[in-house]
């Protein structure tokens, strides 16, 4: 009986505690961080937020972020997640064997239409002689976009080069990755937006 009374009292106290006083800790950027930045513990501060504002995949310890590299910029106060990071983070949740394949689009300005998660079909238009026309070939699709050079940050901060114009990284299975790797040397690459 005493146990039931204690349990009831505990539940009453929890319900009477204002939601605004309950907090969980998570990390946010201590200052603006560019895409490609190598992260250190000093780049993040811990804050307390109401439990319903804690997003899935947020970090609560700096040791999990130290040494990792950003895939996209983080503004001061923004919450990093695994999908914000380069490497395995770009492929989090993907099936075994999935690859992140960089592609250079023939029209660099077209990638302004893309954002991570958008599904695209990748098309190759091969270069033939002046009087020879070749049919376009679908290389892969639909494949999800993981990153684009239009996401922000200074040129060269993602791949260590200033030549990132028109670059798109897509997620592909092994067969698609084989067809996509080096495809831009065989002709011009374009994408078609796909409705999920």
Question: In this predicted model, what pLDDT tens digit does every residue of 129-184 receive, in sequence order?
Answer: 555 566 789 999 899 999 888 765 443 444 444 456 778 999 999 999 999 998 87
pLDDT tens, residue by residue, 75-108 = 999 999 887 887 656 777 778 888 999 999 999 8
b/e sequence 149-166, b meaning 16+ C-beta within 10 Å = bbeebeeebbbeeeebeb
Could you give all domains of the chain from N- to C-terminal order, each with its CATH number? 21-89 (3.90.1210.10), 94-194 (no CATH)
Instruction: Quote the pTM value.
Output: 0.54
Peptide bond before residue 142 is cis, with ω within 30 degrees of 0: yes
């Amino acid at each position: 009986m005493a146990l039931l009374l204690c349990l009831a009292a505990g539940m009453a106290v929890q319900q009477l505690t204002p939601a605004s006083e309950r907090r969980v800790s998570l990390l946010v950027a201590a200052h603006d961080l560019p895409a490609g930045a190598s992260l250190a513990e000093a780049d993040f501060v811990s804050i307390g937020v109401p439990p319903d504002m804690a997003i899935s995949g947020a970090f609560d310890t700096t040791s999990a972020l130290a040494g990792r590299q950003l895939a996209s910029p983080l503004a001061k106060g923004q919450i990093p997640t695994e999908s914000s990071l380069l490497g395995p983070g770009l492929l989090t949740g993907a099936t075994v064997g999935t690859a992140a394949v960089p592609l250079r689009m023939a029209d660099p300005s077209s990638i302004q239409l893309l954002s991570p998660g958008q599904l695209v079909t990748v098309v190759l238009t091969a270069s033939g002689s002046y009087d020879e026309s070749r049919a376009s070939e679908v290389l892969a699709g639909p494949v999800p976009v993981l990153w684009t050079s239009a996401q922000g940050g200074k040129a060269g901060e993602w791949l260590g080069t200033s030549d990132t114009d028109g670059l798109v990284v897509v997620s592909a299975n092994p067969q698609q990755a084989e067809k996509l790797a080096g495809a831009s040397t065989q002709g011009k690459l374009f994408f078609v937006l796909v409705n999920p």
